[in-house]
Amino acid sequence: MITGFLTFLFFFAIVGSILYGRKLIKTEKVDAVFGNPERSKGGIHWVIVGSSFLLLVWLYYSWDIAKSFFPKSANELCQVGKVNESLLSLKYLFPINERQLKSTSVIETETENLDNTIFYIKKSDKVNSQNKEKLINFVTKTKSTIPLLTNEKLLNNETKEQIRIVTEKINNLAKDFASIDYPNESPEEKTKRIEASIEEGTWSASSTSVENTIEIPSIPKTKRGLKFQTAAVELNLISDQFFELRNHNQQYKTVLENLKKEIKDFRSGLSPSDEISSSFAKDILKIARRIEYASIFPPKTLKDMQASIVNFDEVQKKEQGGLRWVDILLFPSGTIISSGPSCSEQGSGRWLPKPSDTVNKFALMLNPNVGFKQIPLIWYEMMDVSKIIGFLLPDWIADILPGEYPIHNEKGEIKPNFKSKVLNFVTGDFELFKIPIPTGHIWDSFLRVFLGLVAGIIVGVPLGLFMGLNRFAKGFFDPLIELYRPVPPLAWAPLVISVLGIDNLGKVFLLFMVSLSIMIISARAGASGTQLSKIHAAHSLGASKWQILRHVIFPNSLPEILTGIRVATGMCWGTLVAAEFLAGTTGVGFVENVAKKYFQYEVIWITIFIMGMLGLIFDITIRKIIDKTIPWRGKG
Amino acid sequence: MKKIISTVLGILFAFSLNASVANAAAKEVRVAYFLEWPSPNLEDMNKKAYAKALGVPVKWTNFTNGVAMTDAMLAGDIDISYSQGLMPYINAVKAKAPISLVDVAMEYGMGGTTCVTSKKSGITKANASELEGKKVAVPLGTMAEYVFTESMKIVGADRKKMNIIAMDPEEGAAALVSGDVVMACLFGGNSIKSATSVGTRLLTVDEARAGGIMGIDIVSVTNKFMKENPGMVKSFVELTHEANARFRAGKSDLKAMSKESEMKVADMNDTLSGFKFLTPKETKKSMKSGNLAKFLKGFDTPRGTVNTKFLP
């Protein structure tokens, strides 16, 4: 419902904005020639077109439009899929979707395989000439079995009759299929089916659990669906009947039996040193058996059957009616496919979840009681302030106090003394008051990036400035930094994780490495880019070294530094997700990695959106800081 | 304006082209397998016997886990997965992936998949509840996760209270060596070897067997390939069982196998000793009513994805 409304909204937004844009061009200032920056200003309507178009493409390729306008189409297409599935094996025999008749292509490959075998037998120097002759004889005999299968005259009457029956069955089915009251369903059966289909649910991802159970209901909900399902069941029986059929006439059987026996005798008669000959014989037998198993028929025998299948295919396409157009137009790049007991979306609908499903699942996961793997996406927990004290104070304070820790007495009680109380205090094992602390996957990822970034800034900026101003620092640190900077951060990941562990420390250190090099480079560029005249001016006014650094060089390099922070943020996000892929218990990257293992495409896309959003928030925040703190940017 | 429209249409058209390349003609069969996971049919792979048996070239691609195998099958890059773990298969079928189970590759005790606790932590079967609140590495979604879950039931530890870290076996072993985790659940000979150098198995092979923990690896095929080339599936399954029979008779070429599995012969034999390669008869029984059927039932696997008609 909402999706349908949104579809129209986006559509009209696009059309309206384009019309508005065209009108605007006409009223544009005439003096704004090409190249004038004036021309790129404004244009919020193009933003609307861009984002509406993106959302429309998402709605379309995730098949959400199909779902909102034709909610039953998936169920019906599932039944059509069942028919196609049961036709698949039969169709594959004929040049319907293929270029060749299956018999033709089998004969072609096997003849080639036999020729190759002769070639290898002749070439082999480990087979004596006597055995060579025998082996080539086997190959020729195998080859001679093929005409026995493709000769129309040798075809058994029984086989002919069977093929006729199968053909007739398909034709009858096609005839029944076209009639309106196929299949016959009693009212009781109908109520039963409708009840079962209601119980099965509708076409959508589960909105009550992170895992999806049934996405596409497979019990037919409509009359048309039932028709296809019934036909699919019948077709399966027909197909099975046909594939049980083997074109093995008496002559073929005798020749093959003889061949098998001869090869067996030949192999048992060989001495152990003739292993190669034995394996050649085995290969020939394999080919012979493959020919036996393949459904090879005389060229014209299956003509009628082919016609009947083509006919049925046409009838079923016609019976699809409007559904066919829904399938073509609203299920782009893929369709609903039936496989075994269930139906599934195959194509873009599989890996691109529907916006409606994604929003539902996101709302579900935001619920702190659900989250992902028992951890909420983002929530808060109450933490005692004492924990912070415990973290800040080192534990050895208690150890260096005089005295001993308490020992239990004979009654089994432990009486705390001063030393143990101090220990409780420095380890944070006491109660003060509680404050809410954010927690969850998103918060963990955020914190890692934030810490890595801050650490990089704290170390990188002074070091960069120092390098920009001092010959020693430049010379000393330059080789180190220039060597590690060009390495892609991810290349460090396995190493850092082995050395510093899989905890936050390793990940934060990795991000620190990423941000550090960027911060050094930008701070250094900022420091060395300060205009000399400004430094001279400060000097002549009697500024000290520190004052010059604080009031001239630092403000001058701030624009560069802040741009560096923006770049570093982006890099940190990219690295973080990959680091969380490698080893993780929490974090957005961890969620994505686990979701991938369970094929939860909605969750994968949710994590992608979260990462995009967080990156955007970081970027906007920094842009705001830049605007606030350095109004002189671009004006010096 | 015209240009915009034509560009848009062009993009739409490009999207509509189906990405997966159809392999209907089957000029080549693409099989997925594991390194460090030996099986008798590796000898046939080494000697190109599969290409002879199937009549077309066979391309073998190695994978690190069964989940990736399913991914590749869905993308249309793999036709047959040999020795895919049952857990990845179950997860895939539950996600409605169009693949079918046609054969049991092997059954194994905890020899090949196991949980190892570090010696430093001092945790053994007896005090396993101490694992609660500590960090353990588990390759989620694989057979190792199943072994982990079952082992925890046996030793009476609560997996919900543990800090489970998703790691592949190689990284899990490295994390155990560095002391980051107190237990790592893993598979693969080399990974287990490096893990047991600093730790001990939580459950011995016999204890695990007694506790009913058993792994099953299977052979899965895409439904499309199965429907279109039933003969090839049959030949593949047949040749695999021939190799298994040869192995049971002690006639396998261990050197060829070790070369293809990239393991030393001694290590390989060690791993192989924990495997049981079923006869066709046993396989059928396992698939219909035996271990495999029970396993699938225990995990509420959708029915109708197991196909016994290709067994010799």
Question: In terms of domains, do B148 and B78 share one?
Answer: no
pLDDT tens-digit series, residues A6-31: 999 999 999 999 999 888 888 776 67
Q: Is residue B98 part of a domain?
A: yes
The mean pLDDT value for B52-78 works out to 87
Strand partners, B165: B137
Percentage, residues of chain B above pLDDT 90: 20
Chain A nearest CA to B167, separation (Å): 5
Give the model's pLDDT for residue B20: 37
Tell me which of A85, A342, A590, A591 to substitute to probe the interface with B (most B C-beta atoms closer than 10 Å). A342
From first CA to last CA, the distance across chain A in angstroms is 56
Six-digit token string for B84? 């895919």
Whether residue B20 lies inside any domain: the answer is no
Two structure tokens written together for A14: 């696009």
- Nearest CB to A110; choose among B55, B96, B99: B55
pLDDT at A627 > cutoff 90: no
A235-277 pLDDT per residue, tens: 999 988 888 888 888 889 999 999 999 999 988 888 888 888 8
Range of the domain at B57: 25-108+215-298
Nearest Cα of chain B lies from the Cα of A334 at a distance, in angstroms, of 7
pTM metric for this prediction: 0.79
Which tens digit of pLDDT belongs to each residue from A50-68? 999 999 999 999 999 999 9
- Kindly report the average pLDDT of chain B as a whole number: 84
3-state SS record for B225-253: HHHHCHHHHHHHHHHHHHHHHHHHCCCCC
Q: Do A583 and B167 touch (CB under 8 A)?
A: yes
Q: For the beta carbon of residue B208, count every other beta carbon within 10 angstroms.
A: 25
List beta partners, residue B114.
B186
Q: How far apart are CA B169 and CA B59, in angstroms?
A: 25
pLDDT at B1: 54
**Which residues have C-beta within 8 Å of that of residue B166, sequence separation ≥ 6?**
A583, A584, A585, A590, A593, A594, A597, B138, B139, B140
Q: How confident is the model at residue A630 (pLDDT cuts 50, 70, 90)?
A: confident
Q: Are residues B220 and B203 in the same domain?
A: no
Asked if B91 and B117 sit in the same domain, the reply is no
How far apart CA B145 and CA B185 sit, in angstroms, is 7
Number of domains in chain B: 2
Q: Which residues of chain A have a CB within 8 Å of the CB of B141?
A: 594, 597-598
Measure in Å the smallest separation between the Cα of A333 and chain B Cα atoms: 4
Query: pLDDT-derived band of residue B116, with 50, 70 and 90 as boundaries?
Result: very high
Using a CB-CB cut-off of 8 Å, the residues of chain B touching A340 are 98, 100, 223, 302, 304-305
Say whether pLDDT at B21 is over 80: no
Residue range A71-121, pLDDT digits in tens:
889 999 999 999 998 888 888 888 887 788 888 888 988 898 899 889 988
DSSP code per residue over A421-440? HHHHHHTT-S---EEEEEES
- The highest-confidence range among A141-155, A405-419, A495-509, by mean pLDDT, is A141-155
Could you say which of B210, B240, B274 is where a domain stops? Answer: B210
- ipTM comes to 0.71
Q: Minimal CA–CA distance to A612: which of A573, A571, A563?
A: A573
The CA distance from B277 to B243, in Å, is 10
CB atoms within 10 A of CB A636: 12
**Structure tokens of A358?**
């994604």
Q: State yes or no: pLDDT of A2 exceeds 50.
A: yes
pLDDT (average), residues B202-207: 84
Q: Give the 3-state secondary structure of residue A359.
A: helix
Residue B1: inside a domain, yes or no?
A: no
* Closest CA–CA distance from residue A549 to any residue of chain B (Å): 44
> Residue A511: which of A438, A574, A587 has the closest Cα?
A574
Residues in chain A closer than 8 A to B303 (CB atoms): 341
Chain A contacts of B67, Cβ < 8 Å? 596-597
Whether residues B117 and B245 share a domain: the answer is no
Residues in chain B with CB shorter than 8 Å from the CB of A344 are 96-98
CB contact under 8 A, B227 and A341: no
Which chain B residue is nearest to residue A337, measuring alpha carbons? B98
CA of A468, closest CA in chain B: separation in Å?
39
B267 in helix, strand or coil? helix
DSSP assignment of A376-415, as one string?
Answer: -SSEEEEEEHHHHHHHHS-THHHHHSSS------TTS---
Same domain flag for B141 and B206: yes
pLDDT band at B19 (very low <50, low <70, confident <90, very high): very low
Is residue B19 a part of any domain in this protein? no
Q: Any chain A CB within 8 A of the CB of B137?
A: yes
Helical ranges in B104-220 per DSSP H: 143-155, 169-178, 189-196, 205-210
Are residue B149 and residue B294 in the same domain, yes or no?
no
- Listed residues B192, B210, B228: the one ending a domain: B210
pLDDT digits (tens, 9 = 90+) for B208-230: 878 878 888 999 999 888 888 88
Which tokens go with A564? 């560096």
Burial (0-12, 13-18, 19+ Cβ within 10 Å), A193: middle
Q: Do residue B221 and residue B192 come from a single domain?
A: no
Give A523's pLDDT tier (boundaries 50, 70, 90): very high
Judge if B51 and B198 occupy the same domain: no
| Cβ pairs A/B, distance under 8 A | 130
Closest CA to B101 of B117, B113, B84: B84
| Dist. CA A215–CA A344, nearest whole Å | 7
In one-letter notation, the amino acid at residue B120 is K
Average pLDDT, chain A: 87
- The C-alpha of B172 sits at a distance from chain A's nearest C-alpha, in angstroms, of 9
**B304 within some domain:** no
User: Residue B282 phi/psi, 5° resolution?
Assistant: -60, -40
Assess whether B205 and B124 both reside in one domain: yes
Nearest-10 crossing angle of helices B86-94, B66-74: 40
Q: What is the mean pLDDT of residues B270-283?
A: 88
B235 inside domain? yes
Among chain A residues, the shortest Cα distance to B52 is held by A283
**A133-140 CB contacts, 8 Å cutoff, 24+ apart:** A134/A266, A135/A277, A135/A280, A135/A281, A135/A284, A138/A259, A138/A262, A138/A263, A138/A266, A138/A281, A138/A284, A139/A114, A139/A284
Indicate whether B173 and B85 sit together in one domain. Answer: no
Q: Please list the residues that pair with A338 across neighbouring strands.
A: A343
Short-list A74, A89, A65, CA closest to A11:
A65
Chain A residues within 8 A of B308 when measuring between CB atoms = none
Question: Cβ B55–A341 below 8 Å, yes or no?
Answer: no
- Measured CA to CA in angstroms, residue A332 lies from A66, A328, B12 at distances of 10, 7, 9
Using CA atoms, how far apart are residues B51 and A452, in angstroms rounded to an integer? 53
Please check the confidence at residue B32 and state whether its pLDDT lies above 90.
Answer: yes
Instruction: Please say whether the beta carbons of A608 and A552 come within 8 A.
Output: no
The sign of the dihedral angle between the CA atoms of B175, B181, B183, B187 is negative
Q: How confident is the model over A420-463, as pLDDT tens digits?
A: 888 888 888 888 888 888 989 999 999 999 999 999 999 999 99
Instruction: Output the pLDDT for position B23.
Output: 40
Question: Of B155, B181, B210, which residue constitutes the final position of a domain?
Answer: B210
Contact assignment for B223 to A597 by CB distance below 8 Å: no
Residue B97 and residue B129 share a domain = no
pLDDT band of B22, cuts 50, 70, 90: very low
CATH of the domain at B66: 3.40.190.10
What is d(CA A588, CA A577) in angstroms, rounded to the nearest whole number? 7
Asked whether residue B9 is domain-assigned, the answer is no
Of the candidates B141, B180, B303, the beta carbon closest to that of A501 is on B180
Per-residue model confidence (pLDDT) at position B2: 57
Q: How far apart are CA B171 and CA B184, in angstroms?
A: 9
**Phi first, then psi: what are they for A209, rounded to 5°?**
-145, 155
Helix (H) or strand (E) holding A334: strand A334-339
| Same-domain pairing of B117 and B206 | yes
| Residue pLDDT, tens place only, A314-349 | 999 999 989 999 999 999 988 898 877 788 888 888
Q: Range with the lowest mean pLDDT among A356-370, A501-515, A570-584?
A: A570-584
Would residue A556 be called left, alpha or beta, if left means φ above 0 and alpha means ψ between -120 and 50 degrees?
alpha
pLDDT average, residue stretch B180-205: 87
